[in-house]
Amino acid sequence: MVERCLGSLCFTQLMTSDAKFFGFSEFLAGLALMILAWTIADVSYKFRIATAPVPLRRLTFYTVTIIGLLTLLTDLWRAEQWFVPKGDLLTPPTWQAFLGFVFFITFLSWAWYAFIRPPIFGRSSAKHFVHAIYHFVLKGTQAELAVVADELRRSAKNIVKYSVNHGGEGSHRVESFRTIFGSPTVSSYAEDILMLISERRFCKAVVDSSPGTALEIFLAMKEFKKYSIRIDVFSKNIINYALMNKESFLYQEAGDYNSGLIGHFKPLTQAMFSDHSMVEEINSMFELDLWGDYSFAAPHWEAYCRIVLMTYKDKVDNDFWGSSRSLWHAFENIRQAAHDLYKLNGVADYSLNEDSVKKLRVIVNFIKDVVSVLEKRGVPDYLPWKKKGTFETHYDQLASLIFEIIHSAAAVQGPQGLSWWMHYNMLWGELFGSFSSKGPAAQIIMFKLRRLIYNEIEQMKKVPNYKGAKIVCFFLNVVGLLPSKFASRNENIIRNIMVCWAKNYYVTLHRKNPQVAAQCLVDGIIYDDLRMRLIKTYSPNALRPKPKMVYLQLMA
């Protein structure tokens, strides 16, 4: 071995026969395997690498580049037998071991973050999370968004933890991405993530493939009592997509006879809707895109009524007297579900399986469930029986809903069989018939409903209108023209109101405004102008072989 010295510093010549276990050829083989692994890696692993707390891709590139150059120079040095410093601290074998160790650590770093310890949102990784999510949301591939949505489940708690609780009501906010252009804090990163995941395509991916992510977010909100973070748009889109997808958690957690353990415990619906204070703070959870791309059929409304009822129970049990804008909007939406009943008016070839009929049945069942909740709660002391100004109790709200549904159903004036079936069998008979609740809450609701009916009829005396005419039409069909020994006290009171109005005002209304007067009569009731009387014809049936007619004499 040739050795040369310059003073105390000696150099020795590398020999081609020296031990070699990590050279350029070994580096290329290892690099090929790493590149293959990176190329075929799943989206989840790419997302994990992108969100690592260190810039793993950049560090890997520089590290691999440097190691490749050093291994290439090492092999060249050995082939040319150039001189290297002599010493025991860094020998040729230890030098190769050092390069191999750094290369091995680089590979382990990828494996650590990709497989063993996936990154979660935090102070060191917040910026990387925002940029990665921004990339995938901007790309918009549904399969990739589903993977990213599932990956976010581990970070949901930290995202909520670092988000700012704005307080007060939620709102739709439009801001630039401070995390893309600026120097933000971890809280602003968290808020921008909430805005990013509120994109409709991402919400669809959450509903379809990763409802657990939504579950973790809402559980974290409850844990930290943060109800005013920027979650309003996310909540609205999640619920709308879940309603439209009959394979979503809203239907899996229905709790019916066909449901299993998930349907019994209802983890996600409980987390989202069982706390009225959270629903009220978010203020968007019952907003429906009724005028958008969606078409809500009876099953969708049934699921919607189920989640509204869950929130309603908590509201009645824990904050009976407080107002609720969320529930007010929910009741308005449910009222809108019956707006298309008019399409059945005059349809001879009708079917009780029509979607409009099914939606009416859903609404009636919801009202009965609400009455049951109020009955279990019990009537509180000092409940005002008469509405005072704009203040509405739960009983006023429910009576108003029933009144509006009656108005919608009254649009079906014929055929006679259909109008009777919808007016009495499906609506009035179910809510106030022999099998309905007779408890104190039901009596209060009936009292308030009678007051609404009376006020509408009084308005008809002063200003005839189509809405009042529909109310007259409905109740003349339901309670009839003459007293009945089988009628309830409430039906007799309403009949007296209707008959009294008809006797004193119908003839004048028919002469001055025949269009409105015609809307007061259902198929099966006609006006005899010559004798000034109303004639109601009861169709023949098994117990009545011939049609039966009853008369109500009117006054000019």
Residue bearing tokens 């995941």: 197
pLDDT at residue 378 is higher than 60: yes
Residue 321 to residue 280: CA distance in whole angstroms: 14
Q: If you average pLDDT over residues 357-382, what whole number do you get? A: 93
pLDDT tens column, 23-70: 778 878 888 877 776 666 688 888 988 899 988 888 888 888 898 898
Question: What average pLDDT does the chain have?
Answer: 87
Residue 90 to residue 74: CA distance in whole angstroms: 13
**Amino acid 538: pLDDT:** 84
Q: How far is CA 37 from the centre of its chain?
A: 39
Higher pLDDT, 13 or 114: 114
Confidence grade of residue 179 (pLDDT, cut at 50, 70, 90): very low
Range(s) of the domain holding residue 98: 15-116
pLDDT at residue 95 is higher than 90: no
Q: Are strands 533-538 and 83-85 parallel, antiparallel or unpaired?
A: unpaired
pLDDT tens column, 519-546: 999 999 999 999 999 999 888 877 777 8
Sign of CA dihedral 381, 385, 391, 395: positive
Confidence grade of residue 499 (pLDDT, cut at 50, 70, 90): very high
pLDDT at residue 169 is higher than 50: no
Report yes or no on 373 lying in a domain. yes
Report yes or no on 406 lying in a domain. yes
pLDDT at residue 78 is higher than 90: no
Report yes or no on 470 lying in a domain. yes
Higher pLDDT, 306 or 13: 306
Higher pLDDT, 254 or 515: 515
DSSP sequence for 249-276:
HHHHT--STT--HHHHH-HHHHHHHS-H
Which of 12-16, 218-222, 409-413, 457-461 has the weakest average pLDDT? 12-16
**Amino acid 170: pLDDT:** 40
Confidence grade of residue 156 (pLDDT, cut at 50, 70, 90): very high
**Amino acid 257: pLDDT:** 65
Q: Which residues of 120-149 are buried (b: 16+ CB within 10 A; e: fewer)?
A: bbbeebbbbbbebbbebbeeeeeebbbbbb
What is the percent of the chain with per-residue pLDDT over 70, rounded to a whole number?
A: 92
Residue bearing tokens 């509408």: 456
Which of 164-173, 247-256, 542-551 has the weakest average pLDDT? 164-173
Residue bearing tokens 């405004």: 513
Residue 250 amino acid letter: L
Report yes or no on 285 lying in a domain. no
Instruction: Give 11's strand partners.
Output: 4, 85
* φ and ψ of 235, to 5 deg: -65, -45
Report yes or no on 389 lying in a domain. yes
Q: If you average pLDDT over residues 452-462, what whole number do you get? A: 93
Query: Final residue of a domain: which of 96, 116, 136?
Result: 116
pLDDT at residue 168 is higher than 80: no
Question: Max Cα separation, the chain?
Answer: 138
H or E stretch covering 6: strand 3-6
Q: In sequence order, what are the residues at sequence separation of 6 or more whose Cβ sits closer than 8 angstroms to the Cβ of residue 492?
A: 479, 483
Q: Which residues of 59-79 are buried (b: 16+ CB within 10 A; e: fewer)?
A: ebeeebeebbebbeebeeebe
DSSP sequence for 179-218:
TTSS---HHHHHHHHHHHTTSHHHHHHHHHH-HHHHHHHH
Query: Final residue of a domain: which of 91, 116, 141?
Result: 116
**Amino acid 183: pLDDT:** 60
DSSP sequence for 102-165:
HHHHHHHHHHIIIIIS----STTTHHHHHHHHHHHHHH--HHHHHHHHHHGGGGHHHHHHHS--
**Amino acid 256: pLDDT:** 67
Report yes or no on 145 lying in a domain. no
Report yes or no on 385 lying in a domain. yes
Q: CA-CA distances (angstroms) from residue 498 to 465, 481, 505, 522?
A: 15, 9, 10, 14
Q: How many domains does the chain have?
A: 2
Query: Final residue of a domain: which of 98, 116, 134?
Result: 116
Task: Name the strands in the sheet holding 3-6, side by side, starting at the edge strand that comes first in the sequence.
Answer: 3-6, 9-13, 83-85
Report yes or no on 226 lying in a domain. no
**Exposed/middle/buried for residue 349 (C-beta within 10 Å: 0-12, 13-18, 19+):** exposed
Residue 406 to residue 457: CA distance in whole angstroms: 14
Confidence grade of residue 343 (pLDDT, cut at 50, 70, 90): very high
* φ and ψ of 22, to 5 deg: -145, 90
Query: Among residues 333, 323, 393, which one has the least CA distance to residue 366?
Result: 333
